[in-house]
């Protein structure tokens, strides 16, 4: 019981996370016990191996990219705050949040932030542009060996052609938003919680 006591979540921390992410008290405690059960090294942080131990994630074609999204640039460990911050992107947008004060900072689960999360899955080198190569690589992850290079290349070319507006042969974040303006991002990138 000793080591467990030192990693118990304090009330102040829960309040801070609540403010930052919008999760409720019970959701935070529930996700905290999930975090600790994944943390095999019991050092308060998760490494990439801890994520890869989840079989359903390991067989996801984009598993590695998703895991990467949890780790800030150049780091190998993520603590509970970082974990919650990333998960917050998938909180559904509630109606009473939609018309909030425009001067308040944007919530993590806004439509724009959800799109940014998805954009970063494509943008492998984090240079704020999706190049043809990057698109090809992500496509290759999703289809495996089942589609030839030429076919994949033509899919990538067509996608860039449709999205690219300023002619630089890559997709910027604004162009990305434009392409997906008719898609119900709020529903597709949200996970409905029970309480």
Partner 1 sequence: MGLFLDFNPFDNLLCILLGISFTVWFTLLLVFIIVPAIFGVSFGIRQLYMKTLLKIFEWATHRIERGAKDNNHLFVSDGNRDLDHASEFEMSDIFYFCRQGVESIMDDEVTKRFSAEELESWNLLTRSNYNFQHISLRLTVLWGLGVVIRYGFLLPLRVTLAFTGVGLLVVLTSIIGFLPNGRMKNFLSEQVHLMCYRICVRALTAIITYHDSENKPKNGGICVANHTSPIDVIILASDGCYAMVGQIHGGLMGVIQKSMVKACPHIWFERSEVKDRHLVAKRLSDHVEDKTKLPILIFPEGTCINNTSVMMFKKGSFEIGSTVYPVAIKYDPRFGDAFWNSSQFGMVNYLLRMMSSWAIVCSVWYLPPMTREEGEDAVQFANRVKAAIARQGGLVDLLWDGGLKRGKVKDTFKEEQQKLYSKMLVGTQEDRSRS
The partner residues of 78 in beta bridges, in order of sequence, read 46
Q: Are 164 and 66 in contact (CB under 8 A)?
A: no
Interaction mask 99-118, partner 1, x per CB under 8 A: ------------------xx
Angle at 132 between CA 130 and CA 137, to 5 degrees: 85
Chain-centroid distance of CA 41 in Å reads 24
Q: Does 63 bind partner 1 (CB under 8 A)?
A: yes
Q: Are 67 and 47 in contact (CB under 8 A)?
A: no
Piece in contact with partner 1 (CB under 8 A), picked from 12-20, 74-82, 102-110, 142-150? 142-150
- Least spacing, CB of residue 176 vs partner 1, in Å: 7
Alpha-carbon span 4 to 166, nearest angstrom: 54
The token pair that represents 90 in the structure block: 């998938």
- Least spacing, CB of residue 103 vs partner 1, in Å: 30
Q: Does 121 bind partner 1 (CB under 8 A)?
A: yes
The partner residues of 129 in beta bridges, in order of sequence, read 172
The token pair that represents 38 in the structure block: 């994944």
Q: Does 27 bind partner 1 (CB under 8 A)?
A: yes
Q: Are 91 and 57 in contact (CB under 8 A)?
A: no
- Residue number, 76 or 100, with CB nearest to partner 1: 76
- Residue number, 83 or 107, with CB nearest to partner 1: 83
- Residue number, 51 or 107, with CB nearest to partner 1: 51
**Residues belonging to the chain:** 195
Tell me the number of residues near partner 1 by CB under 8 A.
56
Residue selected from 28, 93, 108, 189 as contacting partner 1 according to rule CB under 8 A: 189
**Which of the 8 DSSP states describes residue 34?**
H
Q: Which residues bind partner 1 (CB under 8 A)?
A: 1, 26-27, 29-31, 33-34, 37-38, 51-63, 66, 87, 90, 117-118, 121-122, 138-139, 142-147, 151, 155, 158-159, 163, 176, 179-180, 183, 185, 188-195
């Amino acid at each position: 019981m000793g080591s467990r006591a030192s990693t118990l979540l304090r009330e102040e921390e829960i309040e801070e996370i609540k403010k930052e992410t919008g999760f409720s008290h019970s959701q935070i405690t529930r996700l905290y016990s999930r975090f600790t059960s994944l943390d095999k090294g019991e050092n308060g942080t998760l490494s990439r191996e801890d994520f890869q131990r989840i079989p359903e994630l390991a067989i996801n074609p984009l598993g590695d990219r998703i895991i990467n999204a949890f780790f800030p640039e150049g780091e190998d460990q993520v603590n509970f705050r970082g974990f919650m911050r990333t998960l917050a992107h998938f909180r559904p947008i509630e109606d009473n949040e939609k018309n909030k004060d425009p001067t308040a900072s944007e919530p993590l689960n806004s439509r724009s932030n959800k799109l940014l999360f998805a954009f970063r899955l494509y943008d492998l080198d984090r240079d704020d542009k999706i190049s043809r190569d990057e698109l090809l690589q992500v496509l290759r992850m999703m289809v495996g060996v089942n589609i030839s290079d030429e076919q994949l290349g033509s899919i990538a070319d067509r996608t860039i052609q449709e999205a690219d507006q300023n002619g630089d042969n890559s997709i910027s974040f604004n162009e990305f938003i434009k392409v997906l303006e008719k898609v119900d991002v709020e529903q597709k990138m949200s996970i409905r919680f029970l309480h």
